[in-house]
Amino acid sequence: MTMSLVLLALLAGAQAEEQAHFSNTPTDIWAALSTRLGGRVFKAKPFAEPCFTNATSAECASIQELYQNEKARTHQAGGYTWGQWEGCQDTGEQCLLDFAVPTDEAATASPNTCALGSIPDHFIDVRGPADVIAAYEFSKETGIPLVVKNTGHDFKGRSSGRGSLALWTHNLKDISYDAAFVAEGCSDAYPAVTAGAGVQFLEAFQFAEENNITLVGGSDATVGFAGGFTMGGGHGVLSPVLGLAADRALPLP
Ligand SMILES: Cc1cc2nc3c(=O)[nH]c(=O)nc-3n(C[C@H](O)[C@H](O)[C@H](O)COP(=O)(O)OP(=O)(O)OC[C@H]3O[C@@H](n4cnc5c(N)ncnc54)[C@H](O)[C@@H]3O)c2cc1C
Ligand SMILES: *[C@@H]1O[C@H](CO)[C@@H](O)[C@H](O)[C@H]1NC(C)=O
Ligand SMILES: *[C@@H]1O[C@H](CO)[C@@H](O)[C@H](O)[C@H]1NC(C)=O
């Protein structure tokens, strides 16, 4: 059976919330935002930071072991698939191990230090539309730029950004199947999957298998289903027959 895909429109149906008031003093703004969002705003931590804190600790050993592991990186807010998008190419600030030999202690030895580089300063662990609305209001009031990060796979570094606030969509894992889905403005029904903006292909393919349906996905299990892949077109082995993932996206009612 051929499938259609529905993107999660984070903003759809959202209730307009009372405007937040963020003062312009740097110490207060993060606290105000975090309070408004139930404590789900946190300061970023580079993936390799434990090795700069203590290169012989068990935590560092675990990071060294997982350093080339894509899946582990996509599960961490401060982890990106391509190390250059953790570092800042302008200032040279970074917090990186040697990708080829993660156990090489030269990477963490003086004068090398650990800095955020291009990793956003703060992340929101997004759980719903109200978080996204608050982030846009916050950005408008403070001038702090926003980025959206699901997996950190972006080749062009668009899910990172020095000095930014990130909407981290990783935990939006809801996924459901409707054999007779009616999209916005339509009267015909289609079989369709509705997936949260944190669903990755390893989860989407497993879901498809369980439901005996076919999805247009890519070659990499940890790429996100709804974000950069589908909105960027989304090419996979089934594309010559079924088209691009974007060809199969439907608007939520
Ligand atoms: C190893 C590897 C294999 C790949 N194989 C394929 C392939 O077979 N076919 C293919 O077509 N592509 C492939 N890609 C490319 C991949 O589809 C893109 O890198 C894609 O942009 C990754 O999207 P993401 O959401 O997982 O990553 P992220 O880095 O989290 O996001 C990518 C971009 O999308 C934006 N974004 C993410 N989620 C949202 C959202 N919910 N709302 C708005 N913006 C959002 C981000 O801001 C960023 O600009 C591959 C990439 C890698 C690293
Ligand atoms: C799965 O779908 C195919 C194609 O629609 C169908 O022929 C097959 O019987 C289905 N299998 C199960 C276990 O539902
Ligand atoms: C680093 O970690 C090791 C192993 O846990 C520990 O023995 C050592 O005291 C730690 N060093 C510092 C400076 O904390």
Instruction: Quick: pLDDT tens for 169-213.
Output: 999 999 999 999 999 999 999 999 999 999 999 999 999 999 999
Distance 201 CA to ligand 2 centre (A): 21
Q: What is the pLDDT of residue 28?
A: 81
Predicted TM-score (pTM) of the model is 0.89
Distance 49 CA to ligand 3 centre (A): 15
Q: What is the pLDDT of residue 167?
A: 98
Query: Average model confidence (pLDDT) for the chain?
Result: 89
Q: What is the pLDDT of residue 26?
A: 58
pLDDT greater than 80 at residue 71: yes
Percent of the chain at pLDDT exceeding 90: 85
pLDDT greater than 80 at residue 22: no
Cβ atoms 96, 107 nearer than 8 A: yes
State the pLDDT confidence band at 252, using cuts at 50, 70 and 90.
confident
Protein residue closest via CA to atom 21 of ligand 1 = 228
Ligand nearest to the CA of 211: 2
Task: Tell me the per-residue pLDDT of 53-67, one tens digit each, with 9 for 90 and over.
Answer: 999 999 999 999 999
Pocket of ligand 3 (CB under 6 A): 54, 56-58
Q: What is the pLDDT of residue 23?
A: 46
Q: Domain segments of the chain: what residues?
A: 2-168, 175-248
Task: Tell me the per-residue pLDDT of 221-237, one tens digit each, with 9 for 90 and over.
Answer: 999 999 999 999 999 99
Task: Tell me the per-residue pLDDT of 31-52, one tens digit each, with 9 for 90 and over.
Answer: 999 999 999 999 999 999 999 9
CB of 224 closer than 6 angstroms to any ligand 1 atom:
yes
